[in-house]
Amino acid sequence: MIRKLFNKIFKPKLAKTEHETSARARPENAKSQHATRPVLGTKKSAKRKGNNTDNANSIPLKKHQIDRRLLSNAAIKTIEGLQKSGFEAYIVGGAVRDLLLQRVPKDFDVATDATPEEVNRVFRRSRIIGRRFRLVHVLFGDETIEVSTFRGHHEAKGDAHTNESGRIIRDNVFGSLEEDATRRDFTANALYYDPTSEIVLDFHQGFADIQAGILRMIGKPETRYAEDPVRMLRVVRLSAKLGLKIDPATMAPIAKMADLLQDVPPSRLFDEMLKLFLSGHAIESVSALRKQHLHHGLLPMLDVVLEQPMGERFVMLALKNTDERILSGKSANPSFLFATLLWHEVLAAWEVYKKDGNPPIPALHMAMSEVLASQAEKLAIHNRYTATMKEIWGMQPRFEQRSGKRPFGLLIHPRYRAGYDFLLLRCESGELPAELGTWWTTFAEADNETRQAMLEADTAPKKRRKRNRKKPSGSAPSES
């Protein structure tokens, strides 16, 4: 017991003394060896190789006149955070193009020489996304800044792959700033703006093209369209949206390469079509699509409906209303828009099912399912949109029922407003009598007494209610 007490008091001190003695006896270079071990961090002592700007035209503030007040605070914070960590970072692409055109950018993208993992370490609230090319989403409240690493050529060694037609399937190849500029699609999108120095870097005369009002492809257009056929849709959309004239060399291959769009994944095609129709310049875009023969096979409304006088009027009215809403700063419902674009396909299928002897309402639901199934092969319309589209379509026969309690039930339908606006388009295009739309407008705004007076006589045969026959009560079992 005395020995245990002795060890408890004196052993730690002895052990400490032995540890200090061994540390003093350690070789002098041991400490330096430990210090040279790699430490995981974000700070860089030097810039990456190849990121020089000698081949770029540096455009000063006096010439480009970009108003810093139009910049997003989140974009500025992202740039500052990367630059403080030793990386290069620029606002790039459509945001710079829009700023030079005196437009307020819809969103801001940032390009940097930091890898996705390095960007992720700089910003606590960020996440790495993407498979075709990895990106980082940096979150600032409700705003998200998309950060991409400078891209190298997809034919370089690395994580890249193309299919037989030349379309890029996977493209995780990082490169220099100059290589990244070459990989951009149009000269107007290959501009890099540093809000710290307020200089715009231009490798492909994009600034001059914007001033001249020209949309020009970087590199050989045939090769660039083969790499990503969606660029053919994008050039049409940007030309209509920005009022830029497509360069003849950029336009020439589109008509003969349009079939490549059949090879594009439906989800990407849907996203691009959505941007096109919600650009605020949908009518100009549709006209340009038809001119370039890009409409065939994308949507039945583009290659069938527009060839029918009533169908074309209906679709153009829908696009006109959508453009007006967007240009006035209001939101547009994609479900409503796609419901209008596909309605005449639904109508045609509905007639076929009714002729086959199906009751009207079941026939309508079969028609809706058929049209949406055929579209799934070309455009992956999201389920959240198709559900609302079906509701809008399904309400249309109910608007023609103006007797009994049916109109009152329709007024409280969650999608009533969308269905009502759809009805007005049908009336305005001549598909239905204008009187029907007027009746519903008055009915919705009237008091209850007026509504009752507006109802039509109910001539529909009333269904006989089935009475629940009471089961005869069983007799008590007899005792044996």
CA angle 42, 45, 51 (to 5 degrees): 95
* Residue pair 379/389 in contact by the 8 Å Cβ criterion: no
Query: Residue 464 — φ and ψ, nearest 5°?
Result: -75, 130
Residue 238, judged by CB atoms within 10 A of its CB (0-12, 13-18, 19+), counts as: buried
Which of the residues 113, 171, 180, 185 is marked catalytic?
Answer: 185
The closest alpha carbon to 241, from 217, 215, 269, belongs to 215
**Which one-letter DSSP state was computed for residue 474?**
P
Q: How many other β-carbons are positioned within 10 Å of the β-carbon of residue 385? A: 19
109 is catalytic: yes
In whole angstroms, give the CA distance from residue 466 to residue 460: 18
Residue 58's DSSP bridge partners are 201
Handedness of CA 404, 451, 362, 429 (dihedral sign): positive
Give Cβ neighbours of residue 93 (< 8 Å, ≥ 6 apart).
109, 111, 184, 189, 191
209 is catalytic: no
Q: In the structure encoding, which two tokens stand for residue 468, read together? A: 């629940």
185 is catalytic: yes
In whole angstroms, give the CA distance from residue 347 to residue 122: 55
In whole angstroms, give the CA distance from residue 219 to residue 336: 39
The closest alpha carbon to 456, from 402, 397, 409, belongs to 402
Active site residues: 107, 109, 185
